[in-house]
Structure 1
Amino acid sequence: MKLDKDVLFLVFEELKNDKKFLHSCLLVNRSWCVTAVPILWRDPGKYFRTINSNYTKKIIKLFNVILLHLSEESRNILKIQGINSSITEKYQHPLFNYISFWKHLNLLFLDTVLFSKSNLNAKDMLLKLFINKNTNFIHLSIPQNLDYELLHISGIEKCFSELESFHCNDVTDPHVLMGLAGICKSIKKLIFDNWYHFPDNYGIIKLIEVQKKLNDISFIYPRRSIRNDSFNKTLEKSLIKHVDTIQYLRLDWKPITNILSYLVNLLSLEINILHFIKSNEANHLENLSLPDLRILRTQRVPSKILVNLIDNTIGNLSEISVFCDGTNNKELMQSISKNCPNLRYLKLSLLTNLNILISELENLLTNCQLLNGLIVDLYDTDTFSIFNWDKLFKILNKSSPICLYKFKFSSYKVIRLDHLELFFDNWKDRNSMLLKISNNYYSAGLEAKQKLNDLYEKYKAKGVINKYFTGTSRNINEDFEWI
């Protein structure tokens, strides 16, 4: 029985991240091949995000495929320049116009693929294969070292007219951003990285102002970058006209205006403040009411502010990730327990009053029966502080809801093996754990790490542990599967 093409497309869309599956579909028949190829070539860059021993070979293969899209006249020009003439002479044009399927244009990746193998004279010729009246991209990422006249390429208006996602940084040419503002009006997701803090880039302000569907915006400031309150204030004000459409927001600074009080439709809020502040220094975070909020991620926002924010939700929060200084931790735990029955993921990074976590955790686990993943990240650097991991594990054994099986534990102090073993022994008739432990003691010492790995393997064989990882990074959100 032949599958209808529309049904086949819907099935392949559901499996669009399964490269092996889609590759196998190419060999079934023509209909399957024609349906799979555009999905595979929608974002070729995603297959190169891991650098391994085959990375260079894969880049060369992709470059050769792109060359085959050139006209005979362009091939002859490249031949004169000595660029991969053997490929263009040996093979004909591809059966598919693969570049026409390309929807995610990352110009930094394109530089890596194309311009590492060609000279400056060929750059414009190769770039025009991608930017012309016959291509149409939904995502554009511009690198900091853009050194070609992007806006002067014929067909750019058609090429980027339906752009939905855009990524740039503070050194992106403001004139390019201003030019794109005249072309792109339908951007939904925008990421602005302030890596170097070059002169304030007001081109991004103009680009934000003209959008009609802006839904997801992130202003990302690495720790080493300098915060400019005046420019950040202007960025916040640029969001005012988009309060009806913005649902996802990330700010890597302490809010300067009361913009958050306008964004009542927020589903996700992330605020990362560089240094700890006091409650009286967070005037624009007080008395916020975001009833539809699903995701809350904060760093160095006072617990008192978080308690108020969580209290004003209506039970929709499914993910909470907070890094607090320890003040009002008890009230924070109680607020989560009381107001978050639909919570599925919880990360608690605490500096002080660590054992309050234990005293309130059992009640939280009882009330949050949908909890699926738990991170306990303790900055227990005080010589005299003693966190009772054994008691924490006993509470998890006793009170964890049936769907909780994903854990990450991080601590400067040693998490004892006998405490872990008892935890594993009592994890009976439950889903196999996904487990990560971030601890210098087990990562730095080969003997200690081997003992921990032996313990993991023992309980993996028993089905208690499904997957495990040991690391040192404090950023324990990384390098571990939560799905």
Structure 2
Amino acid sequence: MLHLNKDVLFLIFEELKNDKKTLYSCILVNRTWCVIAIPILWKNPLQTTLTEKAGRILFSVIFSHLSEESRNILKNQGINNIITEKCQRPLFNYISFWKELNLTFLERINFSKNIGKSNVSIVRNEILKLFINRNTKFLELCIPRNFCYQLHNFPGAEHCFSELESLSFHCHYKTSQTILEGLARICKSIKKLRFHNLYYCTDNSGIIKLIEVQKNLNDIGFIYRSYNRRDEKFNKSLEESLIKHVNTIKYLRIDWKPITRILSYLVNLLGLEINMPHFTNWNNENLSFPILRFLKVQRVPSKILASLIENTKGNLSEISIHYDGADSKRLIQAIYQNCSNLRYLKLSLAVNTNSLISEFENLLINCQFLKELIIDINDIFDILEFCWDKLFEILDRSSPISLCKFNFTSYKTIKLEYLKLFLENWKDKRPMLLIIGNDNYSLDMEVNQQLKDLIEEYKMKGIIKNCYIGGNICEDFEWI
């Protein structure tokens, strides 16, 4: 192992890029391993959330890279507390290894060295000069809200961002569109674009210019994160900016009701996400996405949604739906009649409905590759309870062999006798990974303990492999 070819070691370490702990241990083996592993380890030091201590260490490393010119500028401004004898030049140029630049870390300078507020902008400017130059080249860039530095004006910016492939831009009323207009002049190879918090964006001229100049735009998302929306004219111009990219766009997210016929042109879509602010109808364009694999929609009327699924060609493997509960029977039929390759299904019902139960068994029988099922019932205002007992009975009876991941979420407590019977009848099947997304259990100490005891009992029997009890963390829970 110690004498493996360097290229082989690189390929092995690349597989460990998301396992920082193991990768760190590799740099301690010998110099060869260290030289190969360090660039991978430092490709994105901000991949995980930093603790306060880790933040201070990171800034110490960054400050150690400052040029003599930058050090003198800071000293001349009376900022001496970050320039110490300890800031010696490191053995590696760690900054040159960064490929993913998330500028939100600049917001943490305040606590890192107790720098006065009046000096923060000076320090940030010198750090940006350290990252943006002719010796660095980034593939991914994240610009936070309130960011006001014109990146394109830094010397070397054209080289630094010339091969940028991914940009995440957080809008705010203080964020100038000129930042995006400047990047549009030097960034032509962006494949993935995300525009967050669009509600705070009063002008979309920079967004449109950046979109228009891209040569191979593949993945784009417009994210509001608010029930408030801009006027239709604002959203319409964003849709129109995508027209010239209909042949390359494969993933799209919009947080509004479609205004133009842009969806009818995007026949090459692999992934589509539509998050409508309210349950409002819109014209059914008889949309057809023949190669669509991933569909995530929120508050799209079930009638339109069923029609959309019916017009796919059987390639859908992941579906996540939050809908109004109306005509759920047709929706479930559309899924099992057209999605035989389905592997992931999330159904989030805005109102309680038991009408899907009658067709749910057909879904399990026809979707034999299903691995993960999430049922999220928003029944906080409903008098009737959702039929968990009937659902569990069907799951025990008709689940395909592949299905072993479950997430059951409800505002009302799922009765323990239903869960116990479900688990008891699951024996002789694959051990399940289970989430019970309900905080109400913690309100009653006795019931909470009974649930924990129930889970432990079926863990001991090998029926449950792993379980989480609490809020709805369906897409973030580490299953194993």
What TM-score results when the alignment is normalised by the length of structure 2? 0.93
Which residue pairs with 2:269 in the alignment?
266
Deviations 1:248-267 (A, max 9, x none): 01111010011000000000
**More divergent stretch after superposition (295-304 vs 386-395):** 386-395
1:323 is aligned to 2:317:
no
Within-5 A mapping of 1:170-209? 170-171=171-172, 172-209=175-212
For 1:34 and 1:461, locate their aligned partners in 2 and report how far apart those are by CA, in whole Å.
46
Match of 1:56 among 40, 52, 55: 52
Contact kept? 1:292, 1:314, Cα under 8 Å: yes
Deviations 1:398-441 (A, max 9, x none): 11111111111112332110110111111112222221112243
Contact kept? 2:199, 2:224, Cα under 8 Å: no
Deviations 1:210-247 (A, max 9, x none): 00111111111112433321110000010010011100
Which residue pairs with 1:145 in the alignment?
146
Shift of 1:482: 5.1
For 1:23 and 1:162, locate their aligned partners in 2 and report how far apart those are by CA, in whole Å.
28
Deviations 1:86-138 (A, max 9, x none): x7413531111000001111112133248853424333222211011111111
Match of 1:71 among 63, 67, 70: 67
* 3-state SS of paired residue (2:356): helix
Residues paired across the two proteins, number? 471
Amino acid at match of 1:3: L
Contact kept? 1:62, 1:113, Cα under 8 Å: no
For 1:309 and 1:441, locate their aligned partners in 2 and report how far apart those are by CA, in whole Å.
36
Change in CA separation of 1:187 and 1:458 when aligned onto 2, cut-off 3 Å: same
Amino acid at match of 1:131: I
For 1:116 and 1:147, locate their aligned partners in 2 and report how far apart those are by CA, in whole Å.
21
Shift of 1:351: 3.8
**More divergent stretch after superposition (396-405 vs 203-212):** 396-405
Unaligned runs of 5+ in 1: none
Deviations 1:23-58 (A, max 9, x none): 1110122221111111111111113x2x6xxx1111
Contact kept? 1:267, 1:294, Cα under 8 Å: yes
Contact kept? 1:441, 1:448, Cα under 8 Å: no
Change in CA separation of 1:130 and 1:115 when aligned onto 2, cut-off 3 Å: farther
Contact kept? 2:375, 2:408, Cα under 8 Å: yes
Amino acid at match of 1:295: F
Amino acid at match of 2:249: I
Match of 2:216 among 195, 213, 235: 213
Contact kept? 1:115, 1:123, Cα under 8 Å: no
Which residue pairs with 1:231 in the alignment?
234
Shift of 1:305: 1.3
Deviations 1:248-288 (A, max 9, x none): 011110100110000000000000111112xxx311x4300
For 1:257 and 1:389, locate their aligned partners in 2 and report how far apart those are by CA, in whole Å.
41
Change in CA separation of 1:173 and 1:454 when aligned onto 2, cut-off 3 Å: same
For 1:316 and 1:336, locate their aligned partners in 2 and report how far apart those are by CA, in whole Å.
11
For 2:155 and 2:426, locate their aligned partners in 1 and report how far apart those are by CA, in whole Å.
63
**More divergent stretch after superposition (163-172 vs 312-321):** 163-172
Contact kept? 2:352, 2:386, Cα under 8 Å: no
For 1:230 and 1:200, locate their aligned partners in 2 and report how far apart those are by CA, in whole Å.
11
**More divergent stretch after superposition (286-295 vs 461-470):** 461-470
Shift of 1:151: 2.7
Which residue pairs with 1:45 in the alignment?
46
Change in CA separation of 1:358 and 1:154 when aligned onto 2, cut-off 3 Å: same
Contact kept? 1:8, 1:32, Cα under 8 Å: yes
For 1:341 and 1:383, locate their aligned partners in 2 and report how far apart those are by CA, in whole Å.
33
* 3-state SS of paired residue (2:187): coil
Contact kept? 1:249, 1:266, Cα under 8 Å: yes
Which residue pairs with 1:257 in the alignment?
260
Within-5 A mapping of 1:308-457? 308-352=307-351, 354-381=353-380, 383-457=382-456
Contact kept? 1:194, 1:225, Cα under 8 Å: no
Amino acid at match of 1:304: K
- Aligned-residue CA RMSD (Å): 2.1
Contact kept? 1:165, 1:187, Cα under 8 Å: yes
Shift of 1:381: 4.2
* 3-state SS of paired residue (1:185): coil
**More divergent stretch after superposition (68-77 vs 365-374):** 68-77
1:36 is aligned to 2:37:
yes
For 2:374 and 2:467, locate their aligned partners in 1 and report how far apart those are by CA, in whole Å.
14
For 2:456 and 2:111, locate their aligned partners in 1 and report how far apart those are by CA, in whole Å.
47
Amino acid at match of 2:97: F
Shift of 1:159: 0.7
Contact kept? 2:196, 2:223, Cα under 8 Å: yes
Contact kept? 1:170, 1:197, Cα under 8 Å: yes
For 2:436 and 2:348, locate their aligned partners in 1 and report how far apart those are by CA, in whole Å.
14
Deviations 1:331-376 (A, max 9, x none): 1111111111110000112245722222111111111111010011
Shift of 1:382: 5.3
For 1:364 and 1:441, locate their aligned partners in 2 and report how far apart those are by CA, in whole Å.
30
For 2:40 and 2:308, locate their aligned partners in 1 and report how far apart those are by CA, in whole Å.
41
Amino acid at match of 1:307: A
Amino acid at match of 1:160: F
Contact kept? 1:329, 1:353, Cα under 8 Å: no
Change in CA separation of 1:453 and 1:353 when aligned onto 2, cut-off 3 Å: closer
Shift of 1:76: 5.1
Change in CA separation of 1:114 and 1:32 when aligned onto 2, cut-off 3 Å: farther
Which residue pairs with 2:134 in the alignment?
133
1:480 is aligned to 2:472:
no
Once the two structures are aligned, what percentage of the paired residues are identical? 61
